[in-house]
């Protein structure tokens, strides 16, 4: 499916795009596009006599070309001269992810209406041409990942409405000019050959990552709010000396306390699991660091660790509490630990908090969850439930969560997340949720999000935290799941299957775009994904939605579009308009089957089962 079909698809989905395809291209623009076609070749689909119907071409009702989207079409060599400049109504131009070389043609100076210019990921070279600074309507300019050289001109100051400028990964030299553009919100000149000091106004407006990979001097001290001068060298030296003295005193104090504690303690220091599992007060007295299993009151309850199914009984509660522990995270419903037992078994232990259910209701719910057996669910292997402690035991998956893979390492050492893997993950999650929904008409997961999707060593998806949302306090962590929550949900304990499907749709959008939903991450700003997709389609082009790591998979474009369409269907505003999970799974399976066929991989390889992590190593 080519981008023109993709645009039509979004027209049907959102009714956002103008009826550009009913227009017939003007003679002038047809002549220009025909010349461009002749000069470029490549894989550009130009079927039909009306140029407005060609791949990547958008026309206004008068037949004038307003947008030209030709990313990753395989073009080579220089950008043809004296052709694109004849498209005088053009306001959007994307030639990114090709292999264009040479300089930007001088006829681009005629594109006075141009607002969006995307030339990243080519082999363009030479200095930035001066005529670019006369295109006063430019809003976003991306020249990154090319071979541009020379200095960065202060002519960019002429672009008064420019909001985004990306120049990273080029060969620019010299100093960063004094850029004073009040509308500039995004800026990056990292990994060039720049020298000198970063201008103060840029230091204060953008993160240090925007300047890394150069020979730049760090941002200078800023004046204090009362207008006094910056700190003198003597004052700085005094601060450094004072800090060193204070640090030495602190180290001596810690050393003294450690020696004294070693003399007074009769028992060894408890392991983290043993320590954190203890109630602060038990039977009116401090319980200290004694294991739960040594409690006198209610010992028959406190010692009990309930296992499910055929889970190997290779440890008990005492073994669990004595295990060395590592905190994996603090989620909506409690703290999660990696516990390494003495016999070599590694498990995950979640200590529940904010539980509003009674002890009987909790046990009944856990028994229900424990009976769920599906290769795409993180199995609940056992639990301990007492008045003071509520512990859940799961398999340990060392690869971590999907969220970490999507939003973690973005540096040069990152391994690209390919299309086949993402498709497989989508199918695995869909299988897991479909299985949950099949158990009862009201059964739901309740908290579908990328941080609750764990990955096996072979990148198979395992859905975790099944059913825990129904047990928690309704005020527990509402902002952290808001980006996935269906609009009709008011109580997080009461999530319908249709609400699950909405959350699944947001997860699919996250998987395809690489962007985190609003509030999905604690320290990273996210976006309202369904709304953002609509805005990108309206203002740019549908291909701008996809994660850049997916744009190299030209032969899978149709499958990616189909999965995007499915995600949008799942995120329908009204619950009755959303498909069932069975239908969702069938559609994803067909998409993955097409992908596997294209790459000559059997579908069985995409859904193979993982290992049982509870067995001793």
For residue 99, list its beta bridge partners: 76
Angle between helices 497-513 and 581-598 (to 10 degrees): 30
Identify how many contiguous H helices and E strands the chain contains and give both numbers. 14, 24
For residue 351, list its beta bridge partners: 335, 391
For 86, residues 6+ apart whose C-beta sits below 8 A from its C-beta are: 28, 29, 31, 32, 107, 110
| Residue 382 phi, psi dihedral angles, 5° rounding | -175, 170
Closest CA to 202 of 222, 221, 187, 223: 187
Calculate the alpha carbon distances from 456 to 330, 372, 395, 466, 598 in Å.
Answer: 21, 19, 11, 17, 24
Are the C-beta atoms of residues 480 and 426 closer than 8 Å to each other? no
Q: Quickly list DSSP for 288-343.
A: TT--GGG-STTHHHHT--EE-TT------HHHHHHSEEEEEEEETTEEEEEEE-TT
Q: Quickly list DSSP for 541-555.
A: -GGGGS-GGGTT-GG
Task: Give the residue ranges of the annotated binding site.
Answer: 350
Task: Give the residue ranges of the annotated binding site for ATP.
Answer: 350
Q: How far is it, in rounded angstroms, from Cα 45 to Cα 554? A: 13
User: How many other C-beta atoms lie within 10 A of the C-beta of residue 497?
Assistant: 19
Calculate the alpha carbon distances from 337 to 207, 294, 322, 373 in Å.
Answer: 33, 21, 13, 23
Residue 544 structure tokens: 């701008």
Residue 437 structure tokens: 């929904």
Q: How far is it, in rounded angstroms, from Cα 369 to Cα 384? A: 14
Q: What value does the CA radius of gyration of the chain take, rounded to a whole number of Å?
A: 29
DSSP at 117? E
Work out the angle at residue 69's Cα, subtended by the Cα atoms of residues 64 and 75, and round it to the nearest 5 degrees. 120
DSSP at 284? T
Q: How far is it, in rounded angstroms, from Cα 455 to Cα 398? A: 8
Q: How far is it, in rounded angstroms, from Cα 211 to Cα 187? A: 9
């Amino acid at each position: 499916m080519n981008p023109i079909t993709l645009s039509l698809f979004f027209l049907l989905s959102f009714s956002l795009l103008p009826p550009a395809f009913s227009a017939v291209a003007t003679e002038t623009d047809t002549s220009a596009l025909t010349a461009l076609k002749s000069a470029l070749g490549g894989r550009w689909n130009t079927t039909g006599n009306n140029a407005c119907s060609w791949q990547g071409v958008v026309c206004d009702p008068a037949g004038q070309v307003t947008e030209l989207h030709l990313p990753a079409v395989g073009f080579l060599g220089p950008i043809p001269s004296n052709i694109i400049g004849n498209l005088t109504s053009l306001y959007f131009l994307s030639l990114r992810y090709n292999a264009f070389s040479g300089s930007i043609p001088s006829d681009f100076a005629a594109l006075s209406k141009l607002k969006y210019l995307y030339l990243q990921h080519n082999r363009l070279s030479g200095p930035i041409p001066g005529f670019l600074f006369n295109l006063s309507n430019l809003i976003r300019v991306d020249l990154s990942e090319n071979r541009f050289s020379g200095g960065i001109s202060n002519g960019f100051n002429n672009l008064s409405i420019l909001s985004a400028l990306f120049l990273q990964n080029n060969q620019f030299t010299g100093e960063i000019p004094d850029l004073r553009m009040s509308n500039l919100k995004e800026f990056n000149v990292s990994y060039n050959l720049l020298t000198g000091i970063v201008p103060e106004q840029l230091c204060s407006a953008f993160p240090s990552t925007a300047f890394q990979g150069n020979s730049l001097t760090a941002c200078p001290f800023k004046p204090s709010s009362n207008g006094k001068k910056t700190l003198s060298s003597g004052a700085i030296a005094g601060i450094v000396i004072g800090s060193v003295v204070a640090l030495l005193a602190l180290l001596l104090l810690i050393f003294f306390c450690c020696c004294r504690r070693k003399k007074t303690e009769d028992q060894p220091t408890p392991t983290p699991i043993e320590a954190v599992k203890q109630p602060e007060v038990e039977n009116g007295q401090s319980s200290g660091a004694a294991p739960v299993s040594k409690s006198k009151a209610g010992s028959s309850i406190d010692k009990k660790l309930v296992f499910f199914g055929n889970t190997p009984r290779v440890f008990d509660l005492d073994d669990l509490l004595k295990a060395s522990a590592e905190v994996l995270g603090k989620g909506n419903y409690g703290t999660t630990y990696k516990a390494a037992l003495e016999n070599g078994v590694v498990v995950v232990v979640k200590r529940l908090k904010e539980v509003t259910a009674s002890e009987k209701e909790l046990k009944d719910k856990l028994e229900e969850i424990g009976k769920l057996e599906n290769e795409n669910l993180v199995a609940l292997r056992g639990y301990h439930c007492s008045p003071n402690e509520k512990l859940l035991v799961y398999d340990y998956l060392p690869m971590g969560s999907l969220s970490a893979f999507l939003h973690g390492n973005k540096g040069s050492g990152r391994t690209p997340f390919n299309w086949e893997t993402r498709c497989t993950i989508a199918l695995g999650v869909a299988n897991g949720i479909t299985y949950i929904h099949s158990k009862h008409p009201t059964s739901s997961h309740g908290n579908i999000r990328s941080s609750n999707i764990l990955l096996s060593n072979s990148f198979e998806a395992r859905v975790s935290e099944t059913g825990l949302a129904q047990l928690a306090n309704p005020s527990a962590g509402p902002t952290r799941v808001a980006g996935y929550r269906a609009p009709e949900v008011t109580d997080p304990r009461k999530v319908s299957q249709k609400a699950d499907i909405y959350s699944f749709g947001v997860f699919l959008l996250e998987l395809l775009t690489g962007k985190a939903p609003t509030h999905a991450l604690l320290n990273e700003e996210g976006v309202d994904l369904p709304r953002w997709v609509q805005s990108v389609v309206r203002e740019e082009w549908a291909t701008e939605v996809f994660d850049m790591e997916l744009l190299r998979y030209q032969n899978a474009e149709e499958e990616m579009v189909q999965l995007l369409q499915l995600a949008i269907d799942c995120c329908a505003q009204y619950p009755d308009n959303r498909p069932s999970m069975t239908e969702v799974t069938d559609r994803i399976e067909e998409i993955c089957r097409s992908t596997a066929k294209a790459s000559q991989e059997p579908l069985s390889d995409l859904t193979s089962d993982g290992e049982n992590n509870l067995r001793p190593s």
